[in-house]
Chain A
């Protein structure tokens, strides 16, 4: 990467004081995030997770000591229609708790698509904050014979303008100069008047003419690719192949990766066990913490792979086409194509998925998407499914070499979640929630090659979030479980599992779950997995790890002695439907502004899970 022109490292000062908070704003696909990553390098804080209730990425700017750059969501305007736009507007007006009003704005526009974006420029400049207008993709613009007089455009806009290329890093020194002048920078000299749409358009047309703007030639590549990817027959076919390839890779390649990772983790545990003296401490570290954590850690490769694909699809521009292709299907259940992106992300994790619904302007569609997203088989269910399938389903072929029983069961569980989601959406559509009238409008971005930098940063983001979860919530739950299995101490030793506090708790709830085919140990797992689904595996790892009867057995073998086949299948069905994720509930509460929706969601999903698991166990028990 050519970073000759990146911001110099000399701290900037100015007599009037430095900028403290600078907002980065721009429409979707303007390359805003690429610029943000380039300016802040890796020193960014990702707030896209519950607990950290900051919706924007903020980062320290290279070369500036006390300057925070706030990356706002991509918006077309500030009217606002979508939740994303509401957030952007709140930040710009200083109404976002914990975030001071920005001192200045960096407005990123796509130079190749300027006509449309002048509208946003007018609204942003009209806020009156010192604004630097950045015309990104300058290299593409020049290559495709676009023309523009930057100085004249600056005069028309009343704000400085710079041509940059965020991808290659050219022209970024203009940002440095702008920011280092600090508060000596004046606000826009004349504010664009935008009383209504026609006048705003007139103004834009005038700006275009006076600044000698000539739009670049349309991208030949995008046209050609669309001819294939949006073809009547090839389009849907490729769509199915792409979605299929994503899952095939995540489970085909991800599984061996996870298995290999598991071997390493086990080995580390065994080595560490040799170093520690026999006793409570070793039990705590190895049987308690390490077995619990590594049961969850092994899913890191698969989660990263899934996010790698989502990143590739999004950055390349294909995700918008996928939304277009699937809109017809979604409209049948009262959703729209913009639900495709959140629902695909929900296969990785419902939390970012629910945040991603902010781009859906239609309120009914957005709430319905939020409501059904947790039914999609998220990666936290994988540890549970994988464990149960490996323990109970034989590795026998079903469809010759193409499909074995284990893969078939895994696929059925995915289908089950999908069907539940669609049926629920249909239910919501026919119920009192009548669709509001904001229609589906979606711009097709040009196809672009995803950059290594942007993809790598996404993976670092998601990996960090996952590891944080393992290091905090799961570690805490694992510790509590270990303590409960160790108390009450008998002569300084842990009691037999049957006499531990955890057994007492487990037996307490046993009557409720017995009809589902679960014993008290599974019950403890269900209790702890309300925090997060994958905690179930950690909990069982700890319980069976401390139980001398199963201590030396792999978890799968230990489980086989505990559950009958109908109960195991009922347990999988239970996990397919149940809302066991406090992170999701927290994010739903925040996104819907209250406890009503998460409460309904929790009761609906858990009720469905209980009844389905009950039926499955009772019916299957007739045969087994």
Chain B
């Protein structure tokens, strides 16, 4: 359950938009699985594209694309980056 009025999640990103991960509303075990791919508080994530049928969604993190289902993405809270998006480098 969201505690703040309208928290932004990975799901609210538009293709090409980047954000910093804040918190996870997910069980510890799942956080452990996600951290392997770089999903951790403070990490920068960019929404790459949805899969052709709309779900799962591809996020660029640590230089490669990782697919998450919308159901998982909506439980990862973020702060959007205001800086204009530059060519992703590393």
Q: Report which A residues bind B (CB closer than 8 A).
A: 76-77, 79, 81, 112-113, 115-116, 119-120, 197-198, 200-201, 214-215, 217-218, 226, 230-233, 235-236, 239, 324-325, 327-329, 331, 337, 361, 437-446
A137 to B69, CA, bound (A): 30
Find chain A residues with CB under 8 A from B53 CB: 236, 325, 327-329
Identify 16 new A-B residue pairs, CB closer than 8 A, beyond the known A201-B35, A226-B49: A113-B62, A116-B62, A119-B35, A197-B32, A198-B41, A200-B35, A236-B52, A236-B53, A327-B69, A329-B53, A361-B33, A437-B27, A437-B30, A438-B30, A444-B64, A445-B64
Q: Which residue of A lies closest to B33 (CB)?
A: A81
Find chain B residues with CB under 8 A from A324 CB: 51, 56, 58, 67
Find chain B residues with CB under 8 A from A445 CB: 64
A217 to B68, CA, bound (A): 24
Given the interface pairs A198-B40, A439-B72, A441-B68, the reply to whether A327 lies near B63 with Cβ below 8 Å is no
Find chain A residues with CB under 8 A from B67 CB: 324, 327, 337, 440-444
Q: Which residue of A lies closest to B65 (CB)?
A: A444
Contact: A328 with B38, CB < 8 Å?
no
Given the interface pairs A76-B36, A230-B51, the reply to whether A444 lies near B68 with Cβ below 8 Å is no
Residue B86 at the chain A interface, CB threshold 8 Å: no
A-B contact pairs, 18 of them (CB 8 A): A81-B33, A113-B63, A115-B90, A116-B64, A197-B31, A200-B35, A218-B88, A233-B52, A324-B56, A324-B67, A325-B51, A328-B53, A337-B67, A361-B33, A440-B67, A440-B68, A441-B37, A444-B66
Given the interface pairs A215-B63, A441-B68, the reply to whether A116 lies near B37 with Cβ below 8 Å is yes
Q: Which residue of A lies closest to B40 (CB)?
A: A201
Find chain A residues with CB under 8 A from B84 CB: none
Contact: B49 with A442, CB < 8 Å?
no
Given the interface pairs A214-B90, A215-B89, A438-B29, the reply to whether A232 lies near B52 with Cβ below 8 Å is yes
A443 to B69, CA, bound (A): 12
Residue B54 at the chain A interface, CB threshold 8 Å: yes
A113 to B32, CA, bound (A): 20
Q: Report which B residues bind A (CB closer than 8 A).
A: 27, 29-38, 40-41, 49, 51-56, 58, 62-69, 71-72, 88-90
A81 to B31, CA, bound (A): 12
Q: Which residue of A lies closest to B73 (CB)?
A: A439
Contact: A79 with B32, CB < 8 Å?
yes
Contact: B54 with A328, CB < 8 Å?
yes
The 8 Å CB contact of A230, one of B40, B41, B49, B90, is: B49
Find chain A residues with CB under 8 A from B90 CB: 115, 214-215
Find chain A residues with CB under 8 A from B68 CB: 439-441
A516 to B54, CA, bound (A): 46
A236 to B51, CA, bound (A): 10
Find chain B residues with CB under 8 A from A214 CB: 90
Find chain A residues with CB under 8 A from B54 CB: 328
